[in-house]
Amino acid sequence: MLGPEGMRASMATRTTNPKKTTSKTAQSQSASKSASKSASKPAAKTASAKKGSPSDDELISSLRQYVRVRGPHLLEDPNITSVGVGRKVTGDQPGGEVALQFTVATKAEPEALESLGTSLIPASITVDGVEVPTDVIERTYKPSFHMVAEVESPLRKSRLDPIRPGASVGAVTVSAGTIGCVVFDRADGTPYVLSNWHVLHGPFGELGIEVVQPGTRDDNRIDRNRMGVLKRSHLGVAGDCAVATIEDRNSLPEILELDVAPRTLGEPELGDKVVKSGRSTGVTHGIVRRVDTVAKIDYGGVTGVQTIGCFEIGPDPAHPSADGEVSSGGDSGAVWMFKEGDDRVSTVLAGLHFAGEGTGEPDEHALACLSTSVFEKLDITLSQPAPEQLEIIAGYDADFLGERVETPELDTDLTRDAALLDGSPVIPYTHFSLTLSKKRRFPFWVAWNVDGGSLKKLSRSGIPFVKDPRLPGTAQVGNELYQANRLDRGHIARRADLLWGSLPEARKANTDSFFYTNITPQMDDFNQSSKNGVWGALEDAVFADVDVDDLKISVFGGPVFQDDDRVYRDVPVAREFYKVIVFTQNGELRARAFLLTQNLDQLEALELDEFRVFQVTLGEVEDRTRVRFPAALHKGDTLRVPEAAADRTPLETTSDIEWG
């Protein structure tokens, strides 16, 4: 299936070709009973009355509200396919009078209405005290699923990297539609392609279904053409719309052959000129002929008839297409762009194409979802948010490894020292969480997840260390401790561990890692001096030496606070740090704990050069920190160590670590 234009539709929009007219009388049209009831109310004035009559803009505004409220009820009449706001057509000439326009599946004489299960559409309907004429046209609609002789450039049906709007796309269970534009998740900035529900989801799809570019109609090599997966979709009054991820390929926002990228959303008005670039018909031009429309579209099968909010577009006689088609099967998902007064394509997006005329109908027209409704429903935006503008993504994930591993808890007396955020001691960031000591102004613990299968390499250049504005500044140690000495601002949750997921998500984690709540003072050669960098290489070592399930680990770490920690610039500086690495191997949860000792006796002289890393038990970490880990981790901690501390030897290299 190429798109909703190939599906039969009964719809509430009317499009009129300036060169084609449809004659009718009110007596030969079918109507819903609700429309008849509305018309039976006394009218205070007619829309055509000169004195006291509303302007076109005022009348259209009233009619828009009427269609939004009453439209779905009017569509309950089985013969009415759409209702919308347009201009009345009389004889062979399009009229200038604003009208409430109905389309019907079948025109009939009054005596035949009962057999159709329908009622007479009145000549006028009173809306907000104004008598508004009706206009009735025989017309049905269908989505773009049917196959047609295609005139598109081969480029549109080819596998593209970078991906471009205007090219073929589809779920693996759908034949082909069109990429409308590149959009971004409003919350985390993930890039998606926008198209229709019936292109990326379809009646046999579900969230997570694979999406290919080009669609299977154009190239059935699914493995080669995999683009991503269906992320979100909607089919209903808000539109026929969906987004899919872009994986292992780049993308460009400029639409094929239009060479513009949508930058803002607009709302169509009667007479607006628009243009689209679709998979099947390429670039076609149109004129908005009806706005604020609701239509009945038959998607067939279990999906059946759906009511879709939209507007209608007819051909632009100043720019006729080669074959007279403003849209055809496979164009579904293309975006309609507004045109400037000088006929140039603007960067303002008018709507998302999803349907056209029914089979055999002489009038050429297209239907498009309102862009504002689509973007709101799918929670997307045209501009990728900067990292600092993204919403905070949920912090440490307790279910990350499959078996739930909760965050640590503090001894009772330490709990009173925990800084609170919205009443909770657990403070979330992107991919990590922590609990902060108000007294020491450093974290008791930091917990983070590492997805080794989607790690990104991002620069740290230009990212400032900052205090978390959600917490009191007095509860955090800032840059005043690190000036004019060899103390480094050391990350507890290692920056490189956090850079996974989508690129925007990784960028956000990169920025979040520089909050001072995740920072403790360490010597400038901390990692390099810790016995060939063992401390800084623990996470890498588990991936290198252990067959970790799903390439995922969780890590806990922090400073060891002691009463005799050396005070430097009025700040007690921890001389020990701990780290606990958690992973699953063959479905079994395992935990391994490590302790690093810093001798800070010579801090003032800044001559410290000895760090020693020991592999310890989880219980030993708890004894030193009074941070309590969940029972699941104790079960997974099977390390056996000598009873005498003197018999412990520090780790010389990562090969000394006992993982299994």
> What would the pLDDT profile of 10-35 be if each residue is shown by its tens digit?
333 333 332 233 333 333 343 333 34
Q: Domains in the chain: how many in total?
A: 2
On whether residue 266 sits in a domain, the answer given is: no
- Distance of alpha carbon 624 from alpha carbon 640, whole angstroms: 18
Phi/psi region, residue 354 (left: phi>0; alpha: psi -120 to 50; beta: rest), is: alpha
Q: Find the domain containing 422 and state its range.
A: 388-458+469-656
On whether residue 632 sits in a domain, the answer given is: yes
- Tell which residue, 361, 267, 522, has the closest CA to residue 14: 361
Per-residue pLDDT, 170: 97
| Cβ within 8 Å of residue 65, ≥6 positions away | none
Give the model confidence (pLDDT) of 466-523 as tens digits.
999 999 999 999 999 988 877 889 899 999 999 998 888 898 999 999 999 999 987 6
On whether residue 217 sits in a domain, the answer given is: no
- Catalytic (active site) residue 491: yes
Per-residue pLDDT, 377: 96
On whether residue 511 sits in a domain, the answer given is: yes
> Which residue among 105, 124, 139 closes a domain?
139
Burial level of 349, CB count in 10 A (0-12/13-18/19+)? buried
Q: Tell me the CA distances in angstroms from 133 to 43, 77, 88, 97, 293, one per residue in order.
A: 12, 19, 8, 8, 16
State mean pLDDT over 69-85.
88
On whether residue 164 sits in a domain, the answer given is: no
**What mean pLDDT is reported for the chain?**
84
8 Å CB contact between 345 and 339? yes
On whether residue 288 sits in a domain, the answer given is: no
Q: Tell me the CA distances in angstroms from 476 to 293, 394, 465, 466, 520, one per residue in order.
A: 56, 22, 12, 10, 10
Q: Which domain CATH number covers 631? A: 3.40.570.10
> Which residue among 139, 170, 188 closes a domain?
139
> Which residue among 80, 113, 139 closes a domain?
139
Give the model confidence (pLDDT) of 106-119 as tens digits.
777 777 777 777 88
On whether residue 44 sits in a domain, the answer given is: yes
Q: What are phi and psi of 537, to 5 degrees?
A: -110, 10
Distance of CA 132 to the CA centre of its chain: 41
8 Å CB contact between 277 and 283? yes
On whether residue 311 sits in a domain, the answer given is: no
Residue numbers belonging to the annotated binding site: 527
pLDDT band for 344, please (50, 70, 90 cuts): very high
8 Å CB contact between 32 and 122? no
Per-residue pLDDT, 597: 74
The pTM for the full model equals 0.61
Residue numbers belonging to the annotated binding site for Mg(2+): 527
Of 285, 431, 491, 634, catalytic: 491
- Distance of alpha carbon 476 from alpha carbon 396, whole angstroms: 21
